[in-house]
Structure 1
Amino acid sequence: MNEVAYEVDVRSLDDLSPRDLYAMLKMRIDVFVVEQKCAFPEMDGKDPEALHLRLLAGTELLASTRIIAPSGTDDPAYIGRAVVSPNHRGKRLGDKLMAESIAACERLFPGRPIALSAQSHLQKFYASFGFETVSEEYLEDDIPHIDMLRKNASP
């Protein structure tokens, strides 16, 4: 397995260049809409208020997540739109992406739990990062999902 060197970049939508935004949205659409054959509203209105964590090799986008700040004092931070470039799968970038996303949430929102909506077949993957299933399985865009939560210790 080839180890991939990467840099972590976390920024708001307004701080992404047009080319960076295009690359991120193209990768998400290529994977979620085209590869997974799932017609859904990828442009759901949440990106402008979110932070976007990207793993980069120079200017090449390897993987990304969307981080949404807690909306209330008891609400969790939310990690979503986790995606690894099809050109870089099999290099454990999913593990690195999740570890970096959790670290960013812990740094930005100390002591807050972290939530995500996981495709059901990835339950064990997310559980390996401390996420616990908190819902029954449900269909989201015709794909089985579960809600998961990772409790964080107080700062």
Structure 2
Amino acid sequence: MNPTVHAAALADIDPVTLYGLMQLRVDVFVVEQECAYPELDGRDLEPSAVQYWCTDLDGAPIATARLLTDELPDGTALLRIGRVCARHELRGNGLVRLLIDRIVSDIGDRPSVLDAQAHLEQMYARWGYVADGPQFIEDGIPHVPMRR
């Protein structure tokens, strides 16, 4: 497998690819993880949001993540990685590594955060993310806030 990594603002993604990205996220976060929540949260529409994805040979999305900008009360901006997932049958093939490598490269030395599912804390540590607060439950799943 030699997937291609793409990055674009929502408005620059063709409708078929966008549909595939949203379907992948719903398949993983809503259906597979059995979390009935509004997957489409409006944050993808923010002007600074960037979607990342890997495609298979046919161009279909097989892994995805997004990079958001959180505006802090003091007026500073903090980058946030989220919605990281890969098709169930393709996990363990390095797709998430490719995505996070690209995102971290794009972030550079700017600070960034993510909320990792607790069992993935060590995976994100590979990119320098460390726990930055107590574990919490979101949609019945333990999460750890992490910062780099």
Query: How does 1:100-111 map onto structure 2 within 5 Å?
Result: 100-106=102-108, 111=109
Gaps of 5+ in 2: none
Question: Which residue in the other structure is 1:96 paired with?
Answer: 98
RMSD: 1.5
Equivalent position of 1:51 in the other structure: 50
**Counterpart of 1:42?**
39
Q: How does 1:13-28 map to 2 (within 5 A)?
A: 13-28=10-25
Q: 1:70 deviation in Å?
A: 5.0
1:8 aligns with 2:5: yes
Counterparts of 2:4 and 2:119 in 1: how far apart (Å)? 28
Match of 2:144 in 1: 146
Q: TM-score, normalised by structure 2?
A: 0.89
Equivalent in the alignment of 1:126: 124
Identity across matched positions, percent = 34
Provide the C-alpha distance between the structure 1 equivalents of 2:56 and 2:107, rounded to a whole number of angstroms.
22
Tell me the amino acid that sits aligned with residue 83 of structure 1: C
SS at match of 1:37: coil
Give the Cα–Cα distance (whole angstroms) in 1 for the partners of residues 83 and 41 of structure 2.
Answer: 11
Deviations 1:24-49 (A, max 9, x none): 00000000011011111101110111
Aligned residues of 1:117 and 1:146 also touching (Cα < 8 A): yes
Counterpart contact for 2:24–2:62, Cα < 8 Å: no
Q: Is the 8 A contact 1:119 1:144 kept in 2?
A: yes
- SS of 2:100 mapped into structure 1: helix
Instruction: Give the number of aligned pairs.
Output: 143
CA distance in 2, matches of 1:27, 1:18: 14
Structure 2 CA distance for aligned equivalents of residues 89 and 120 of structure 1: 17
**Aligned twin of 2:68:** 68
Distance in structure 1 (CA, Å) of the matches to 2:93 and 2:99: 11
